[in-house]
Structure 1
Amino acid sequence: MTKSICVFCGARKGNDPAFGQAAIDFGQILAKNEWRLVYGAGDVGLMGAVAEGAQGSGAATFGVIPEHLMQREGGKRDLDQFIITDDMHSRKKLMFINSDAVVLLPGGAGSMDEFFEVLTWAQLKLHSRPIIVANIAGYWQPMLDLIDHIIASGFADPSMTNLFSVAQTVGEIETTLRSALNTATV
């Protein structure tokens, strides 16, 4: 059975070319492993880049976009499955329900919102899907430091860091996913 990987990432490319290259490369990794891309259905920024890498290499694609973002993010309609939702919450829920693992590539506030929601669900034991933070070029280090600060300040248990993995490269993401998908219960 094909595994589906939910990718949270930016609707912008960011200012480091490493981010865009990592998104394209990760899309290609999805195809290589016969994993399906589940993402926000945008045709811009890192969302467009990961879709480009995935589609160009033959990966199945599943995109979900809320109606109000169709113009802003240029909904990518040539996906294998393309769903338009009423709102952002429905988008996140549908993406998560249709995935076996979550990967956080660089992105903005929306990507952090998506990550922290699935992290909170894991903390509440609502799921045990693998969550991987792709710390490409150190992008997520300030967020990872904030999580350490939250723990050090007594607002979360140190076990919270066991709920996600950190990968520094696309190769590490692939290795972590391969291992996690062989042992994860969804």
Structure 2
Amino acid sequence: MRRICVYAGSSPGSDPAFADAAAALGAEIAARGLGLVYGGSNVGLMGVVADAATAAGGTVIGVLPSVLQDKEIAHRGIADLRIVDNMHERKLAMIELSDGFVTLPGGSGTLEELFEVFTWQQIGLHRKPVGLLDVNGFWQPLVALIDHIVDSRLLRREHADRLLVDADAASLLDRFESFDPPVIDKWMDRASGPTSA
């Protein structure tokens, strides 16, 4: 692995532990000699992880759509800030630049980014690790929902288990290093073929 993409909230959130975890993650990525790829903002948990990686001597690439640059949230303290035309270009660039994806606490945009790379992994568009940094149990309701989706036979257990969940940044990145998923068909119950109207 060369670079880790971090998805994170553009707000700090209600729990100070969120920012502490973001800072620890940024520092850990830099300490391993890995680059950080993130959304290019200077606000919220996004700004914290970028600042921590930079302070620890890491390489940081920020990818920001021009519409957000105009709102003056572009991080001018990183050496490599790439401005793209729209959100779709931003997400694609972040995926292409990265060898793994860590998701910190965040809102709807963070969830969108997470599920896009998680789905792409399932259908074989990439074989990169995807993980949740579970700060103070923040992601446990989502883990429970995923278990419910598995129980409803809408997601294979083997695919659900590829979403790595860990409360410790170093442990999560260790698991990234050994990630080697088997190739498994995404679709279930296809023996009967498509139904006709």
Counterpart CA distance in 1 for 2:16 and 2:72 is 20
Paired letter, 1:5: I
Deviations 1:40-79 (A, max 9, x none): 0010000000011100010001000111112446111232
| Preserved contact between residue 67 and residue 86 of structure 1 (Cα < 8 Å) | yes
Deviations 1:1-33 (A, max 9, x none): x71000000000101011000001111101110
Counterpart CA distance in 2 for 1:154 and 1:73 is 45
Counterpart CA distance in 2 for 1:52 and 1:8 is 15
Q: Which residue of 2 aligns with 1:141?
A: 140
Does residue 79 (structure 1) correspond to residue 78 (structure 2)? The answer is yes
**Structure 1 residue 81: deviation in Å?**
1.5
Q: Which residue of 2 aligns with 1:21?
A: 20
SS of residue matched to 1:103: strand
Counterpart CA distance in 2 for 1:170 and 1:36 is 15
SS of residue matched to 1:84: strand
SS of residue matched to 2:178: helix
Q: Which residue of 1 aligns with 2:64?
A: 65
Q: State TM-score, norm by structure 1.
A: 0.92
Q: Which residue of 2 aligns with 1:55?
A: 54
| Preserved contact between residue 61 and residue 80 of structure 1 (Cα < 8 Å) | yes
Paired letter, 1:133: L
Percent identity, aligned pairs only? 38
Q: Which residue of 1 aligns with 2:43?
A: 44
- Going from structure 1 to structure 2, the CA distance change for 1:71 and 1:21 (only over 3 Å counts) comes to farther
Which consecutive residues of structure 2, in runs of 5 or more, have no partner in the other structure? 182-197
Q: State TM-score, norm by structure 2.
A: 0.87
| CA root-mean-square deviation | 1.5
12-21 or 148-157, larger mean C-alpha shift: 148-157
| Preserved contact between residue 37 and residue 62 of structure 2 (Cα < 8 Å) | yes
| Preserved contact between residue 44 and residue 73 of structure 1 (Cα < 8 Å) | no
Which consecutive residues of structure 1, in runs of 5 or more, have no partner in the other structure? none
Deviations 1:79-131 (A, max 9, x none): 23111111111101000100011001111100100000001101101110011
| Preserved contact between residue 130 and residue 162 of structure 2 (Cα < 8 Å) | yes
